[in-house]
Structure 1
Amino acid sequence: MSTEIAPTVREATKPTDPQRFSAIESRSIDWITPLERSGSPWRVSPLFFIANWSFFTIALGFTGPALGLSIGWAILSSALGLIIGTFFMAFHATQGPRLGLPQIIQSRAQFGFYGVIVVVAMSLTCYLAFGVVYTILTAQGLSQIFGWSPVVIGLVINVIGGGFAVAGHDHLHRVSRWVFYITVPLVSVFSVAIVIGKAGGTAAPATDSGFVASAFFTVFAVSAAYNIALAPVVSDYTRYLPVKTSSRSLVASVYVGAGVSALWLISVGAWLSARYNASDALVALNDAGNAVFHGFGAVLALASAATLIVCIATAAYSVTLQFLTGVDLVRRIKPSRGLRIGVTVAAIVIYLVVGLGFGDHVINAASNALSLMLFLLVPWTAVNLTDYFFVRRGHYAITELFTPSGVYGRWSWRGLVAYFLGFAAMVPFAVLPFFTGPLGSWLGGIDVSWLAGLVVSAGSYFIVTRNLDLAAERDAIEQSDVGLQSLAAAPAADAHRPAAEYGLLDGQ
């Protein structure tokens, strides 16, 4: 059977009402109809490339040399980690075109309508922490280089980022492409300068030695987790692609975008750490750039800061979708444009108040929160992908995801049990900033907890779903397809009637 959903909606007409602010996205956690979708798989690659294209990633490259690895070993361990971590993240992209929904909404099929609160809480905390960290690092870094007021910098980057987040999905992809075309040539020049020895550096050159097993596997784990952190939001940015989008091409597009940019800048970070004894990524980038030619460092620093503005925008956009999903569990909402804008503005305010109001006092706490959230997201990605590719094989009743009385139930014990079993399996292997499990200590600080979580959650979910009555879901899928066809084919003036009827706009 095909993994496409709602095959009867292919001939549907565009259902949206005339919009007063047509430049601002009107959708949020509701279903994207077929004629609202367009684009090709490789059009989304720049957004995922830019997601890792900043000095935040460069700082990740400091880890290997700081733990005793040479540049070569640090790059190799990062590459291997990214190969694995990006694999899991990229496969979430296929769910966007098939289902036309944000990533977290789809998780209701595995965890139940209310059970998904576990995922919402983790993902929401993670992306709020990301926004705070982006704000602090950018404000402090540019202040140190140029002497600008960190408050002014924080306000500017968040106002700009918030503007793009409010504008919505299409604008986020568009600005990502702009930043991609502007910044990639700059970093390419800098990378060539590194290779030919024109980027300076006073520390001793790296040698072929410098292998430390615990450091190698730590960098491997950190790199793998880095792109897994993107997993809860991947479908947020692929859900406007056509249903017939090639899954293979889409996975490749996301994989290349997120993987290449991360490995490139982690490699730059490893070189900066080894050659400059760097501790601040943005300052080191500025110093090394100026060694190529005067003023180039400032250009690189500003370009890297520009990418973080896009990251702030995408984080705020996904926070909004996650928050509305959580609110919908408590009080059924109509996900209007105005509501999405209001929550987006609130997310930006949180970034500003926490980032600028507390600064250094919260940076460690935010970083620790990110470490914990990445730790907790691993079992979720295992359950979600196992369900999509091996259990239900892409077949879902979309309308049933919007009601607690649907076929997926209020609480799905199978998904919750598999999730918590995976979490329990990770704890003994954990190597976190604030906790190290007994097996993590026994392994000398080598973190393999993510692997334990993936294997146990995926395996246990596959086992407990062996008796799942998928045949009983087929009727619900057929009825859902009919409902989606009615929604998609509704005249523009009557577009919201079937949307409300099937629970895709007002949650009824």
Structure 2
Amino acid sequence: MSTKTSSGSAAGPVIERHSIDYVPWSERRGKLWHQAPFWFTGNFVLPTMVIGFIGPEVGLSAGFTFLAVVLGAGFGTFFMAFHANQGPRMGLPQMIQSRAQFGSRGVIVPFLATVFVYIGFMVFDVILATQGIGLVLPDPKWFWYPVLTALSIVIAVIGHDLLHFVQRWLTYLLLIAFAITTVLAFTTLPAPAAGHAGGWDLTGFLVEFSLAAGYNISYAVYVSDYSRYLPASSSAPKLIFFTYLGAAGSAVWLMGLGGLLASRIPKVDAISSIKQVGDNLFPGFGTIVVLVSTLALISIMGVNAYGAMLTSVSGLDAFKPVRATVRPRVIGLVVVGLITVIAALAIPDDYLGSFNNFVLLMLYFLVPWTAVNLVDFYAVRHGRYAITEIFNPKGIYGRWSWRGLLAYSIGFVAMIPFFALTDLFVGPVANLLGGADLSFAVGLIVAGGLYLLFSRGLDRRAEEEARERSQRELEGDGAVW
């Protein structure tokens, strides 16, 4: 590899100038361990805790809920963390890389699902953040939804470095606040009555497992957005480890705490339960913890807005070239913010059922994408892509790539009999299993396996020649590796 790879010590401009374009080696910076606090704070938000509420609601004990969370989040994070390695190898945001598997226009299918994920999370985040503010201030939705969304948009406009900075320092506040809260939950809440303690239920266990797995798999669409500035020579095992540590650790902790609270507090609610437990230390401490959580929600809204912008610009660029400048970034972020506010105002007050179905829908649409994308990177192309060709609609990756589209489509269709959307649709196989949802396993195996099969005829020699030309164009004659 060329010695042009940056040591990673220099800071970038105050307002990020890159968007969907390639990050040159000379601008690479950052430390691998920063991925851990970034993804810890990114996942340590109240919607994560809501996932843990589900286990006791479907009859599981807090202990079995925790086991389902450990296995589910651990499984889902496995796929998410392996996407992190794509950032420094390719120097691109996460979703635009999918053009290599789906084509520059064919990729619009997973793009649409991904934007839905980003905006959906922003909607739930702004609702919870407003409820948190309501503990100390009047909380009219018409005021706080636009204000909090605008604040997150400002963070996203400044971009990558500020997002990393905020996430890293919020980690320390969250660790302190929730370590105390978790101890208080174990020591001050009354044990559940015998009739409400829950126990073992296979269907409930699989439901909790699927929700925890799907929730963390959903972060796969973000990962390279925040690792693409790392030096190209970054250690893959260390990068994957730190990403996994942050995302899985926070999910297990907060979902597990949610299961504990739901098993001991009737009609559990994210905001009121945290306040109740925290106030057992001293009156007002619970409010402090909720406000710290609100800061984390605003920060992750910035992360979601940033990702939605990158994906939207990538989609538009496939049909009409978009200059990678600050202006389209700002326009894209403003549009994302407006959609978020409108959707948040329209959503019913009883959002928990909506949130559960939203998480499952994320799982359904993203599982076949992550399978195709990871199989292509690790088993087919082994991380070797012609970057300039990704931006060339007439290049080797084409506008429509039948391999990725067909594998994704068949994988998605194969999942349908296993779907279990409460009150919306329960597939015949899921119905036979008592409502248990195993669609993620089917989607991963079918989509990933078919893509590997379809890719056997790829002309890798021609692509390798294109890759070498691409590297010379991007980094100079001595940069081919």
Asked if 1:463 is matched to 2:453, the reply is yes
Give the Cα separation in 1 of the matches to 2:325 and 2:410.
37
Q: Is residue 86–residue 258 contact of structure 1 (8 Å, CA) maintained in 2?
A: yes
Compute the displacement of 1:139 (Å). 1.8
2:94 alignment counterpart: 103
1:321 alignment counterpart: 310
SS in structure 2 of the partner of residue 48 of structure 1? helix
1:166 alignment counterpart: 157
Runs of 4+ in structure 1 displaced over 4 angstroms?
11-14, 144-147, 205-209, 361-367, 486-489
Alignment match of 1:372 (pick from 357, 361, 370): 361
Give the Cα separation in 1 of the matches to 2:111 and 2:253.
31
In the TM superposition, what whole-angstrom CA distance separates every residue of 1:468-505 from its partner, at most 9, and x where no partner exists?
1111211101111111124999xxxxxxxxxxxxxxxx
* Residue identity opposite 1:248 in structure 2: P
Give the Cα separation in 2 of the matches to 1:368 and 1:292.
35
Asked if 1:390 is matched to 2:384, the reply is no
In the TM superposition, what whole-angstrom CA distance separates every residue of 1:326-360 from its partner, at most 9, and x where no partner exists?
11011111111121112112212222233236553
In the TM superposition, what whole-angstrom CA distance separates every residue of 1:362-398 from its partner, at most 9, and x where no partner exists?
8866764453233111000000000000000000000
Compute the displacement of 1:141 (Å). 4.6
SS in structure 1 of the partner of residue 85 of structure 2? helix
In the TM superposition, what whole-angstrom CA distance separates every residue of 1:92-111 from its partner, at most 9, and x where no partner exists?
00000000001111111111
Alignment match of 1:84 (pick from 62, 72, 75): 75
Structure 2 counterparts to residues 1-16 of structure 1, below 5 A: 7-8=1-2, 10=4
Alignment match of 1:356 (pick from 316, 339, 345): 345
TM superposition score normalised by structure 1: 0.89
SS in structure 2 of the partner of residue 313 of structure 1? helix
Asked if 1:263 is matched to 2:257, the reply is no
Give the Cα separation in 2 of the matches to 1:13 and 1:86.
28
Q: Is residue 119–residue 304 contact of structure 2 (8 Å, CA) maintained in 1?
A: yes
SS in structure 2 of the partner of residue 251 of structure 1? helix
Structure 2 counterparts to residues 360-439 of structure 1, below 5 A: 360=349, 368-433=357-422, 434-439=424-429
Q: Is residue 75–residue 266 contact of structure 1 (8 Å, CA) maintained in 2?
A: yes
Structure 2 counterparts to residues 66-465 of structure 1, below 5 A: 66-143=57-134, 147-195=138-186, 197-198=187-188, 200-201=189-190, 203-204=192-193, 210-356=199-345, 360=349, 368-433=357-422, 434-465=424-455
Alignment match of 1:65 (pick from 17, 34, 56): 56
Aligned residues: 476
Provide structure 2 residue ranges, at least 5 long, that are not aligned to the other structure. none
- Cα distance change on mapping 1:80 and 1:332 into 2, 3 Å: same
- Cα distance change on mapping 1:11 and 1:260 into 2, 3 Å: closer
- Cα distance change on mapping 1:393 and 1:75 into 2, 3 Å: same
Q: Is residue 132–residue 366 contact of structure 1 (8 Å, CA) maintained in 2?
A: no
1:500 alignment counterpart: none
Give the Cα separation in 2 of the matches to 1:12 and 1:295.
48
Give the Cα separation in 2 of the matches to 1:83 and 1:436.
26
* Residue identity opposite 1:436 in structure 2: V
In the TM superposition, what whole-angstrom CA distance separates every residue of 1:130-155 from its partner, at most 9, and x where no partner exists?
11121123223543675433333323
In the TM superposition, what whole-angstrom CA distance separates every residue of 1:378-423 from its partner, at most 9, and x where no partner exists?
0000000000000000000000000111111111111111111111
SS in structure 2 of the partner of residue 44 of structure 1? helix
Alignment match of 1:33 (pick from 21, 24, 32): 24
* Residue identity opposite 2:449 in structure 1: G
Q: Which deviates more from structure 2 when the two are superposed, residues 46-55 or residues 152-161?
A: 152-161
- Cα distance change on mapping 1:113 and 1:367 into 2, 3 Å: same
Asked if 1:485 is matched to 2:479, the reply is no
- Cα distance change on mapping 1:190 and 1:279 into 2, 3 Å: closer
Give the Cα separation in 1 of the matches to 2:478 and 2:302.
30
Q: Is residue 81–residue 223 contact of structure 2 (8 Å, CA) maintained in 1?
A: yes
Once superposed, what is the RMSD of the aligned Cα atoms?
2.4
- Cα distance change on mapping 1:271 and 1:13 into 2, 3 Å: closer
Q: Is residue 77–residue 216 contact of structure 1 (8 Å, CA) maintained in 2?
A: yes
Q: Which deviates more from structure 2 when the two are superposed, residues 288-297 or residues 422-431?
A: 288-297
Q: Which deviates more from structure 2 when the two are superposed, residues 268-277 or residues 447-456?
A: 268-277
SS in structure 2 of the partner of residue 451 of structure 1? helix
Compute the displacement of 1:11 (Å). 6.2
- Cα distance change on mapping 1:155 and 1:264 into 2, 3 Å: same
SS in structure 2 of the partner of residue 332 of structure 1? coil
